[in-house]
């Protein structure tokens, strides 16, 4: 049985972790996820929704694979894993993780690589690596800090505790809490709106600008904004949007993603 499934719903790619009940990040699942990320580049994708089969999103890494790792092996494994997260983060369209049940350790790191996180009202999230004397091996420390600040990130990773989704929303780590029985359908509806009828080139430019701001500050992001602004005027979507605005009403444009 495949541990990762992917299907297209219009322009939205729906990727599911498929090793319930815990969807742990085994070597097999990690390899299939890497392959899936590569396959996304071959499809006509304009949005990505990542979710999981079963009652839990992901209970983190399969600890069994750590027992025989040498420092050299660990460096290779985690270098490859973080490179895969970078690929997810650089996808040129909106992405979301829809998180249910347990989402800890490496599972949370995968979710944090997405643009947005929606979670069920019963979800529990955390970076629990401290419980085995480790650190967030997939960059969870810095990705938490990006969303909630360094001090709060330290609290989360130092304690390793499981935190309710409502609290994680207050920390600005997740974007929205949704009733568990409605999570998938609401997340899919939201993402299909962005994927099927969104100005995909503009989304990609905005993501690029925000990364530049994060890495190099406002002035550098301003310079990149000027470049992207000029490039927008070569897109079909901006022409469509302007024409629709002038002839119909704001918000009525139907974008093609070109």
* CATH number of the domain encompassing residue 135: 3.90.226.10
How far from 64 is each of 69, 114, 138, CA to CA, in Å?
A: 10, 27, 17
Please provide the average confidence, as pLDDT, over all residues in the chain: 94
Identify whether residues 191 and 211 lie together within a single domain.
no
Residue 254 included in any domain: no
What DSSP character marks residue 234? T
In whole angstroms, what is the distance from residue 250 CA to residue 258 CA?
19
Query: Which pLDDT tens digit goes with each residue over 177-202?
Result: 999 999 999 999 999 999 999 999 99
Q: Is the pLDDT of residue 251 over 80?
A: no
**pLDDT band for position 217 (cuts 50, 70, 90):** very high
In whole angstroms, what is the distance from residue 254 CA to residue 169 CA?
32
Identify whether residues 191 and 235 lie together within a single domain.
no
Identify whether residues 108 and 218 lie together within a single domain.
no
In whole angstroms, what is the distance from residue 123 CA to residue 94 CA?
23
119 touches 168 (CB < 8 A): yes
What DSSP character marks residue 25? B
Looking at the chain, the whole-number percentage of residues with pLDDT higher than 90 is 86
**Cis peptide bond upstream of 18, omega within 30:** no
Q: How many folded domains does the chain comprise? A: 2
Identify whether residues 66 and 39 lie together within a single domain.
yes
Residue 210 included in any domain: yes
Structure tokens at 162: 């499981």
Residue 258 included in any domain: no
Structure tokens at 192: 């299909």
Identify whether residues 49 and 8 lie together within a single domain.
yes
Residue 76 included in any domain: yes
Domain termination residue (choose one: 157, 176, 196) = 196
Mean pLDDT of 151-173: 97
Quickly list H helices, 131-171.
140-148, 150-159, 165-170
Identify whether residues 204 and 114 lie together within a single domain.
no
Query: Which pLDDT tens digit goes with each residue over 105-140?
Result: 999 999 999 999 999 999 999 999 999 999 999 999
Q: Which domain holds residue 40?
A: 4-196
Domain termination residue (choose one: 181, 196, 211) = 196
pLDDT of residue 57: 98
Residue 141 included in any domain: yes
pLDDT of residue 43: 76
Identify whether residues 114 and 140 lie together within a single domain.
yes
H or E segment to which residue 49 belongs: strand 47-52
Q: Is the pLDDT of residue 65 over 80?
A: yes
Residue 256 included in any domain: no
């Amino acid at each position: 049985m495949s541990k990762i499934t992917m299907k297209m719903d219009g322009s939205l790619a729906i990727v599911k972790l498929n090793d319930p009940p815990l969807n742990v990040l085994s070597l097999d699942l990690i390899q299939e996820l890497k392959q899936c990320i590569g396959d996304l580049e071959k499809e006509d994708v304009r949005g990505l929704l990542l979710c999981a089969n079963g009652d839990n999103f992901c209970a983190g890494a399969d600890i069994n694979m750590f027992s025989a790792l040498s420092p050299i092996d660990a460096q290779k494994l985690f270098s490859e894993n973080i490179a895969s997260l970078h690929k997810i983060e650089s996808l040129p369209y909106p992405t979301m993780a829809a998180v249910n049940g347990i989402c800890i350790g490496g599972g949370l790191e995968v979710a944090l690589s997405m643009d947005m996180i929606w979670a069920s009202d019963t979800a529990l999230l955390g970076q629990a690596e401290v419980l085995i004397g480790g650190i967030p091996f997939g960059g969870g420390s810095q990705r938490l800090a990006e969303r909630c600040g360094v001090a709060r990130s330290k609290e989360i990773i130092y304690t390793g505790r499981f935190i309710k989704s409502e609290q994680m929303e207050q920390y600005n780590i997740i974007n929205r809490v949704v009733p568990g029985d409605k999570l998938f359908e609401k997340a899919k509806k939201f993402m299909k709106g962005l994927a099927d009828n969104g100005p995909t080139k503009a989304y990609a430019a905005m993501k690029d600008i925000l990364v530049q701001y994060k890495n190099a500050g406002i002035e550098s992001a301003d310079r990149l904004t000027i470049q992207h602004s000029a490039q927008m005027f070569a897109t079909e979507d901006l022409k469509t949007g302007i024409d629709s605005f002038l002839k119909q009403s704001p918000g009525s444009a139907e974008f093609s993603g070109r």
